Amino acid sequence: MDLSIVIPFYNEEESLEELVEWIERVLNEQKIEYEIIMIDDGSSDRSWSIVEKMSTSRQYLKAIRFRRNYGKSAALQCGFQASQGNVVITMDADLQDSPDEIPALYRMIVDEGYDMVSGWKKLRHDPISKRWPSKVYNAVARWVTGIKLHDFNCGLKAYRQQVVKSIEVYGDMHRNIPFLAKQAGFKRIGEKVVQHRKRKYGVSKYGWQRFVTGFLDLLTLVFITKFGRRPMHFFGVLGSLMFLFGFIWAAFLGAEKLYAIKHHIKAPLVTNNPYFYLALVAMILGTQLFLSGFLAELIVRTSSDRNTYLIDKKVNL
């Protein structure tokens, strides 16, 4: 199989048939063996029945339906697991991603040797309330991850098969797939300017909250990447330093009191010194951080799979 196209969707009944027909027109002109994998993320409209109807005459159209809405990350992960193509391309189902970009993205992976290519919606047809927060998020993401992409959140991306089989997308981590790929050892990450079309049907399923959660997810991902397998290296070191700082401070205050007693110098009680309580707090916090690291180590060693979605139906799979 040359190409897999993974399309997660949620309540997009108006656009699905038009999208599939458009993909067909584009790829039938290419000498590419392909499959389309559509993941229904718990739609409550007619989306699934439309996909089922289309699949009866299209063996290459495969579909998976979740029992409820689990989010885009779970849908992408499920699609990645089901994909068989040497190249995997993801795109949104709302017709804002143009299927005309697929051949060029495919060639960048096959001919130019990229592990992953991310689309860049250089000219966006979104309101300013979405464009500017996106610019800020992408700037922070570039700084934190060291990956020079303009649009981390673009749904139109191409991957070498080894990439999607080597990463795990969970929570809301679909925004940070380039970083996941980089941490998995796939460092040939490219970018292509792609067409961004105005939404033709329905309304956006994402609000301003996605930018807040995006920042938090990015920080979480950086932390997990560096310390996820060894949390004691973070909490243990920080806790030990804080405990040591408090202990030395308390010991200094105690030694100062003993010196004053030995030399018959009048000195206030140690417990009357506010620095004693700061030292005590530092020791307590240091102990708690150390114990947090110890418990985190136990959790890491007994953690289970983070993807917990239930599939309701499948088509052609």
Higher pLDDT, 304 or 86: 86
Amino acid at 31: K
Structure tokens at 21: 């027909």
pLDDT of residue 236: 85
CB 314 within 8 A of CB 64: yes
Question: What pLDDT is stored for residue 308 in this prediction?
Answer: 58
Q: Encode pLDDT of 227-277 as tens digits.
A: 766 778 888 888 999 999 999 999 988 888 888 888 888 777 877 888 889
Q: What's the average model confidence in pLDDT over 11-31? A: 93
Q: Directed axis angle between helix 232-262 and helix 209-227, to 10°? A: 80
pLDDT in tens, 26-73: 999 888 999 999 999 999 999 999 999 999 999 999 999 999 999 999
Tokens of 262: 């030995």
SS3 (DSSP) at 221:
helix
User: What's the pLDDT tens digit per position in 151-210?
Assistant: 988 999 999 999 999 998 887 788 889 988 998 899 999 999 998 887 777 666 555 566
Q: Where are the domains of the chain?
A: 3-227, 232-302
What's the angle, vertex CA 60, arms to CA 176 and CA 84, rounded to 5?
45
Cα separation of 212 and 248, whole Å? Answer: 40
Q: Which of 40-44, 168-172, 212-216, 287-291 has the lowest mean pLDDT?
A: 212-216
Q: What pLDDT does 230 receive?
A: 76
Angle of helix 16-27 relative to helix 47-55, nearest 10 degrees, comes to: 30
Q: Which CATH superfamily is domain 3-227 in?
A: Spore Coat Polysaccharide Biosynthesis Protein SpsA; Chain A (3.90.550.10)
* pLDDT tens digits along 70-119: 999 999 999 999 999 999 999 999 999 999 999 999 999 999 999 999 99
Tokens for 96, please give them: 């804002």
pLDDT at residue number 263: 82
pLDDT at 128: 67
Q: How far apart are CA 165 and CA 84, in angstroms?
A: 10
Sheet holding 157-160, edge to edge: 189-193, 116-120, 157-160, 87-90, 3-9, 34-40, 61-66, 311-315
For 103, the enclosing helix (H) or strand (E) is: helix 102-110
pLDDT at position 78, please? 95
Residue 300: pLDDT band with limits 50, 70, 90: low
Above 90 in pLDDT, residue 20?
A: yes
